[in-house]
Structure 1
Amino acid sequence: MRIFVTGASGWIGSALVPDLIGAGHQVVGLARSEASAAALTAAGAEAVRGSLDDLDVLRNSAAASDGVIHLAFKHDVAFSGGFQGAVEADRRAVDVLGDALVGTGRPFVLASGVAGLAPGQVATERNMPTVDGSVFSTRSLTAEAVLALASRGVRSSVVRLAPTCHGDGDQGFMATLVDIARTRGVSGYIGDGANRWPAVHRRDAARLFRLAAEKAPAGSVLHGVAEEGVAIRDVAAVIGRHLDVPVTSVAPEDAAEHFTWLSGFLGLDMPVSSALTRQLLDWEPAHPGLLEDLEKGYYFQS
């Protein structure tokens, strides 16, 4: 297939592109910069210049493809206080991409998340988030729109990713937690630290996106989760050992000052199952788990 990928030079996209090409697909990647375009070309993909705001570029690229994988999101805008604006831009892009595929039976795979599905319980692919205006639920409306495309002749699916998509080069939650521990001189967790985070290696996540494009049935909800839940205190213990700093509990009332923006996420208990996804697509994660990955040491290199 000729697959149009947004976010193709990003964290998961840069693992997805070689996976797709290795499986015999042709990749066209959206590139916001010359550097991204050069990286895509070097990886064997075709680059098309544009951003999520270039709706004509998105429309034409999707129409000329045999399928779309949408990974891009304005994370820089979202984490600088413009979350709602980033969500709105994403929704406009999704509507344009989806409309270009209506009636074709072609795949449209959307990257989403698992946070907020069933706090404190093991969430499955059958759980749907409650739309209550919270940070976690706002993007779920976009995921619902993609799933609704199944009734309009699009083989749509949503891959809900674990918050920790780890691996060498990660600049996300785990890298941030390491930086906080290094700066503070202690490796902390909130309360008793028994709350659990699901995790997935980025190369396992990339393979799941390829499988979704290849064979996920229309309207599928998939979970990009390799580990159901890793206790945050266990993560803190590995970080403390590698940085040679004490491991300590941070009281919930002090979490915002200690962990800054990460505090709103770090205390969540959100175990998630991917059993239905594995059965449906014969997806079996093969890369290291989170604690094993942390033990490799590259998260702690200055």
Structure 2
Amino acid sequence: MDVFVTGASGYIGSAVARTLLAHGHRVRGLARSDAAAARVRAVGAIPVRGGLTDLPVLAAAAAAGDAVVHTAADTGEDRPRIDAAAVTAMLGAMDGGAFLTTTGAPRARSSRLPVAEDDTAQPVGPLAWLAAAEQRVLTAGRVRGAVVRPPIVYGAGGGPVAGLVRQARADGIARYIDAGENRWSTVHVSDLASAYTLILEKKATGAFHAAEAVPVTMADLFEAIGYAAAVPVKSWTLAEALATHGPLAGYLAGDAALDAGRLRALGWTPATGDALGGIGGALRDPAQGYTV
């Protein structure tokens, strides 16, 4: 297939591009700067110059291939509008093919036991737009639509956990909230990239959770973060966490356990994450790039 990947210079998108190329597909990657274009070329993909607000560029790139994998995300407050316009432009230009978009664990019902893809809740606050973003793709008439919901993504020294390690180093302490008994699912970035590729190759549709079998408690996760940052680990209250880190603390205090049964039925296994012993093993493995 000829696949257009948005976010191909980023953490998830570059992993997707590498995996697609390893499977023999042709990959074109969106790149909004010279530096991003260089990263796309380094992966082995063909840069398409532009950003998420360059709608004619997005439309032409989407129409020129067999599939789109959308992993790019604006980080500003205008993210919902920018994402909607970008996805609408790409879908409107396509006549057949596949479109995979990326949302996240908050789209599923909050639970300490893994929940299936259909067990959803209406997200609120800054993430309320995720529900409409999914429906935009799943109900697109002329394309084969699919949604990938990653939980906490880790590996290769990147992902949100890298920020938590940096924060722990800066603070001189790693802190989980209250008893730290809430649980999140996790996935290694290489296994996540394999999930996108498998969904494309199997011509699958619908929503898919890409998650390892056993969610991690926040207490265990922050023990591993403390190890990587070489700092002590302690608990603090939700009020203290919110006062210091804002809404992010609220997400970390919740539960987001995902069941990847639908993806596993396609033949997916989180091979890299399982071999490392999950996110805790990765944070303690110098080869993964998190330790001091």
Q: Does TM, normalized by the shorter one, top 0.5?
A: yes
Q: Deviations over 1:89-108 (max 9, x none)?
A: 00101111111224x2x110
Q: In structure 2, what is the equivalent of residue 213 of structure 1? A: 200
- Secondary structure in structure 2 of the residue aligned to 1:74: coil
Q: Does 1:138 align with 2:123?
A: no
Partners in 2 of 1:93 and 1:199 — Cα distance?
28
Is residue 228–residue 272 contact of structure 1 (8 Å, CA) maintained in 2? Answer: no
Q: In structure 2, what is the equivalent of residue 153 of structure 1? A: 142
Q: Deviations over 1:141-171 (max 9, x none)?
A: 111110001xx13111000111x1101231x
Partners in 2 of 1:123 and 1:23 — Cα distance?
30
Q: In structure 2, what is the equivalent of residue 94 of structure 1? A: 87
Q: Does 1:287 align with 2:272?
A: yes
Q: TM-score if structure 2 supplies the norm length?
A: 0.92
Extract unaligned runs of 5+ from structure 1. Answer: none
Report the CA distance shift for 1:3/1:195 in structure 2 as closer, same or farther (over 3 A).
Answer: same
Q: Deviations over 1:244-265 (max 9, x none)?
A: 4332110122112344453122
Partners in 1 of 2:7 and 2:229 — Cα distance?
33
Is residue 180–residue 259 contact of structure 1 (8 Å, CA) maintained in 2? Answer: no
Q: TM-score if structure 1 supplies the norm length?
A: 0.89
Q: In structure 1, what is the equivalent of residue 23 of structure 2? A: 23
Identity in percent: 35
Is residue 197–residue 231 contact of structure 1 (8 Å, CA) maintained in 2? Answer: yes
Worse-matched range after superposition: 239-248 or 287-296: 239-248
Partners in 2 of 1:244 and 1:28 — Cα distance?
40
Q: In structure 2, what is the equivalent of residue 247 of structure 1? A: 233
Partners in 1 of 2:129 and 2:257 — Cα distance?
20
Q: CA deviation at 1:300?
A: 2.9
Q: Deviations over 1:85-125 (max 9, x none)?
A: 111100101111111224x2x11010110115211253211
Q: In structure 2, what is the equivalent of residue 231 of structure 1? A: 217
Is residue 228–residue 273 contact of structure 1 (8 Å, CA) maintained in 2? Answer: no
Q: CA deviation at 1:287?
A: 0.8
Q: CA deviation at 1:241?
A: 3.5
Partners in 1 of 2:91 and 2:257 — Cα distance?
31
Number of residue pairs the alignment of both structures matches: 285
Q: CA deviation at 1:227?
A: 4.0
